[in-house]
Structure 1
Amino acid sequence: MNFRQLKYFVATAETAQVSRAASALSISQSSVTTAIRELETSLGAALFIRTRHGMDLTDAGRELLASAYAILSKIDEAQNIRHRDTDASGTIRVAASYTVIGYFLPYHLDRLRRLHPNLTIELHELNRDSIEEGLLSGRFDVAVLLTSNITNPGLESETLLRSARRVWCASGHPFAQRRNITFDEIADEDYILLTVDEAANTAMKYWSAQTREPRVRLRTMSIEAVRSMVANGQGITILSDMVYRPWSLEGKRIATVQPAVQVPTMDVGLAWRRGATFSPQMDLIHTYFRQAFNSPYAS
């Protein structure tokens, strides 16, 4: 067992597809397949069940995934020992929206804590309107939020990540066998509409360009409720890859399919008051995220 094998295994488990794991890692599919085969041989256990819908974890695979996360976290911590900056100190006030705190920030907060142990990050979870007001009034130094939703001209932003939106459906749904799905076909299905972080407003923007509207069965602020209802075959939805997980809380599988018409990405990044003078703490956070995401999109 080695670091490379574990890294490729985790990527495949999270994406449920060798092709998507290879794309995320910028390597060939054969490299991923070989690493998983080597790992299964060394452990003497099958880690995945190969199905028409992708790669389903076995019981042994689920056990290894929990251990792999812990191992990779420790490796990352060890690799960053020489980069640790104990001179950086002070406090920075960071605002973040619900989706960002739940699905983007935790990993980076942990890395920042280990890289800069004397830096205090005051974290505040708020909706976009409150975050924008707080940045303009000086209550917050910087925000991490969905930059695709920012409308206030008094703010500057930098997008770090663009997360594609796809159709989610149960693994046994006929859509799971398809390469792409039209909006007319989606409109024929019950639709589970997520409302948190202005997701409903965003959805209506791209649906407004279509000839039909979604047949909404449920509006909910809970991503886990969406996940469970989709996995149980009670509807479909369109959500971003960033919040995608291949299983519901009940352990049922969720498949994703590309919409036939491209929908806007969910963009995540930093925002601050336009013209603000960066403090050393703001510089540190800005530099960290720029290095973590090598090709930021400035706006």
Structure 2
Amino acid sequence: METRELRYFVAVAEELHFGRAAQRLMISQPPLSRAIQQLERRLGVILLDRGARTIALTEAGSVLLHEARVALEAVEAAERRTRHAAASPFRVRLATKAGAAKELLSRLLDSYAADPSAAAIEVLLCGPGEPENLLRSGRADVALLQLPYDLTAGLETEELHTEQQVLVLPAAHPLASRGQLSITEVRTIPGLPLPRWPGPDGSYPEGAGPQVRDFTQLIQLIMLGRACALLPESLGTTLGDDYAVLPVPDAAAVITVMAWPAHSKSRAVADLVSAALRLFSGS
């Protein structure tokens, strides 16, 4: 299959209309229809159920839509990484969530910069979920991710730091005087729902909690008494007197990992990972 055919098919599968897909691709409709028919003949399957007024994806078409998106994203990422590798001077692009693992990041950058052969580091500060997306799309070379918040399937990772989660809520809330809370209690606090963060596709999960885009917005919502939040302990310790921070012993631990593409051949990325392991493993 050619990438051109995959782009054509994705457009038709997403629009479910040949005319709109052709406009989106800026081509005429006849060659688009012929390209999809040729793709079906080559695969030996029917990808689209063509009705008199509507079209729909077959089961095979649904599978190809998913696989085509993955393949096209991989091609685009390869193009970005190739161009970046040829840039002069070369810079390692390190993606991390703004506010997360600040002390860890600062120590890592200082330690790595002490090596005379170290490459320049470009730090990309992002919102929740964005470091992973930047890494997978080829816009970042390496990322600091946090489990269980981020997904690392298909990436190489090394664990750097483990910490507990804490509950952050307004200092004036009646529960602020408690020594600790269980995860069950956290999920059922009246009037203080947990926030909803966007997923990899930008959509928000169903729920009663407010939609949150970044850490600054979350902290303001907590101060206003509109939400509570489970956060890494290191983030909780940076807050002021307007907030109460309570341990949640049975919440999953937060593991900060350094992640990079499994097929990466970058010597600079390997050196940065090695520096991180020396610094945080004590070796």
TM-score, normalised on structure 2? Answer: 0.52
Equivalences for residues 160-199 of structure 1 within 5 A: 160-182=160-182, 183-184=184-185, 186-189=187-190, 190-193=192-195, 195=197
Change beyond 3 A, Cα 1:197–1:164 = farther
CA distance in 1, matches of 2:178, 2:167: 11
Please give the secondary structure, in 1, of the residue aligned with 2:227. coil
Q: Which has the larger radius of gyration?
A: 2
**What number of residue pairs does the alignment pair up?**
187
SS in 1 for 2:162: strand
- For 2:279, the aligned partner's letter is A
Distance 1:103 1:193, change over 3 A: farther
4+ runs of 1 displaced by more than 6 Å?
Answer: none
1:216-235 Cα shifts (integer Å, max 9, x gaps): 2x221131232233234343
SS of residue in 2 equivalent to 1:159: strand
Work out which of the residue numbers 268, 282, 289 in structure 1 matches 2:276. Answer: 289
Aligned to 1:268: 256
Separation in 1, partners of 2:102, 2:259: 18
Query: Which shifted more, 181-190 or 281-290?
Result: 181-190
By how many angstroms is 1:107 displaced?
A: 1.3
Mark the runs of 5 or more structure 1 residues left unpaired by the alignment: 1-89, 205-212
Give the residue type in structure 1 aligned to 2:252.
P
CA RMSD for the aligned pairs?
3.8
Alignment of 1:1-299 (within 5 A): 91-99=90-98, 103=102, 107-108=106-107, 110-112=109-111, 114-116=113-115, 119-124=119-124, 127=130, 128-134=132-138, 140-146=140-146, 148=148, 149-153=150-154, 155-182=155-182, 183-184=184-185, 186-189=187-190, 190-193=192-195, 195=197, 215-216=208-209, 218-247=210-239, 252-259=241-248, 262-274=250-262, 276-277=264-265, 279=267, 281-294=268-281
2:180–2:247 contact (8 Å) kept in structure 1 = yes
Identity %: 15
**Contact conserved, 2:170 with 2:223, CA < 8 A, in 1?**
yes
Residues 88-115 of structure 1 show CA distances to partners (whole Å, capped at 9, x for unaligned) of xx73423413347783565146514751
SS at match of 1:220: coil
1: distance between equivalents of 2:179 and 2:188?
17
User: 5+ unaligned residues in a row in structure 2: which ranges?
Assistant: 1-88
Asked whether the equivalents of residues 108 and 275 of structure 2 are also in contact (C-alpha less than 8 Å), the reply is no
- Amino acid aligned to 2:181: I
> Are the aligned partners of 1:196 and 1:221 in contact in 2 as well (CA < 8 Å)?
yes
State the 1:193 CA deviation. Answer: 0.8
Paired amino acid for 1:188: I
> Which amino acid counterpart does residue 150 of structure 1 have in structure 2?
L
Q: Indicate the SS of the match to 2:145.
A: strand
How far, CA to CA, are the matches of 1:256 and 1:101 in structure 2?
17
Contact 2:135 2:260 in 1 (8 A): no
Residues 224, 194 of structure 1: alpha-carbon distance in 2 compared, 3 angstrom cutoff: farther
Deviations 1:163-202 (A, max 9, x none): 321111222322222122242464132225152687x999
Instruction: Give the alignment's TM-score, normalised by structure 1.
Output: 0.50
Larger fraction in strand: 1
